[in-house]
Amino acid sequence: MFNILFSEDERYYRALGLVDRIGYKYHFNGMKLYKRDCYELRKYDLFVCAFYTLPHNTILTTKFNSLGIKTVLVCDGIFDVSNSINNQMVKKYSLIQFFPIIQDYFVFPFNQEELIFNSKVEVVKYMPKRILSNTVKIPLPSENKILITTANTAYFTHKEFERLIELLNGIIHVLIDRKVDFCVRIFDDKILQKVKDIYPNAINDIYDSFEQTLERYTSVITTPSSIVITSMYHNRSVGQLIYRDTPQIMFSGWLFPSVDIFKSSFSEFYEQNVNRMLLQQSFIDGYLKNSNDLTEALSNIILHKNETHIKYIEHINQQQFNMLNSVFNVNFEFFVRKLYNKLKKKSSFKKIREFLR
């Protein structure tokens, strides 16, 4: 029997596709054990964590590495350079997300992005369940229709927000002028209000799952996010909005960095140009090639013969390490994160977050 300790809660990993498997026993909420003596942690065969910035995960990683027990960092979506640099949750720790990775393995979706990491850590590919929950191809509707959507967190600075709104504004005006049928799917109230200012009659199509929503559309315009993968898989023409100066990692059939380029490429995008769609299919084939589900990825790691190595942790302040191991420290952040994850789904809490942003 293999015992796997997951730092975060069960629901998080189940949403990524973790399923029960004979010969494996799962233990969740392991971050609570960060002050345990190494001897007490020897009963586990693998340590898995997902919250890069959480100091508890760093402490547990070093303890398991010292025991010769393999450690894994799981990424739940696409790699976004702006997120790594500008996300306030990362900046408050004076870190760059995923640089460095101190775990032995990085379980990571997709293809091209692994080139950034595989010289520093062993990358194991997988496909999160939430990105492709439906592997049966969704048929295209009979009439062309465009969906404009954004990532849950589409901007990290005020400048990014302004550039995104300017680009959306221009594209929406083009669609209105050409009498193109379109809807939006936007959960960010601040972005949605700006869209409503541009086009008060805009329909916000948010009441079904994304894949159910996709049944009504032939084309998707989106900010960089895992939605790109889902939409390309289901044979929709996909155009990404480009409004940042950070490197663009994810490929799609079309890129829209300006309104002029959107205008010039609109016909091919809207009518799903055959050659461009074949190119887009090559991208999605590359992303899906040799990708396991999360359960299979972790099983392969356990059975892999490579031994773990103790790594030096230069990015963690020694005072922070001592503080977290102090007998006076209570596991406050663990409880705050659980409370936050419950509250953030409530509409009233979303409004408070938007006000404070």
Q: What is the 3-state secondary structure (H, E, C) of 89-104?
A: HHHCCCCECCECCCCC
Range of the domain at 309: 2-127+291-356
Residue environment code for 97-116, b if the CB has 16+ CB neighbours within 10 A, otherwise e: bbeebbbbbbbbbbbebbeb
Answer whether residue 49 is part of any domain: yes
DSSP states of 107-176: EE-SSTTHHHHTTTSEEEEB--TTTSS--SPPPPPSS--EEEE--SS--SSHHHHHHHHHHHHHHHHHHH
Q: Is residue 150 part of a domain?
A: yes
Please give the pLDDT value at position 176.
97
pLDDT value at residue 163: 97
Looking at 288, 312, 328, the residue that finishes a domain is 288
Give the DSSP H or E segment for 294: helix 294-303
Residue 87 forms part of a structural domain: yes
Domain total in the chain: 2
Q: What are the start-end ranges of the E strands in 187-338? A: 219-222, 237-241, 254-256
Q: Which helix (H) or strand (E) holds 73?
A: strand 70-74
Whole-number pLDDT of residue 348: 52
Average the pLDDT over 14-40 and give the result: 95
Confidence of residue 298 (pLDDT cuts 50, 70, 90): very high
Which of 16-25, 120-129, 148-157, 205-214 has the least mean pLDDT?
120-129
pTM: 0.78
Predicted confidence (pLDDT) at residue 322 exceeds the cutoff of 50:
no
With CA atoms as reference, report the closest residue to 17 among 344, 300, 303, 297.
297
From 288, 312, 347, give the residue that closes a domain: 288
Same domain? For 150 and 281 the reply is: yes
Task: Name residue 48's beta-bridge partners.
Answer: 6, 72
112 and 163 both lie in a single domain: no
CB 167 within 8 A of CB 243: yes
Measured between alpha carbons, how far is 149 from 220 in angstroms, rounded to an integer? 7
Burial (CB count <10 Å: 0-12, 13-18, 19+), residue 356? exposed
Instruction: Establish if 139 belongs to a structural domain.
Output: no
How do residues 103-117 score in pLDDT, each as one tens digit?
999 998 865 555 555
Q: Does 132 fall in a domain?
A: no
Tell me the three-class secondary structure of 244-280, residue by residue.
CCCCCCCCCCEEECCHHHHHHHHHHHHCCCHHHHHHH
Decide if 174 is inside a domain.
yes
Residue 341's pLDDT band (boundaries 50, 70, 90)?
low
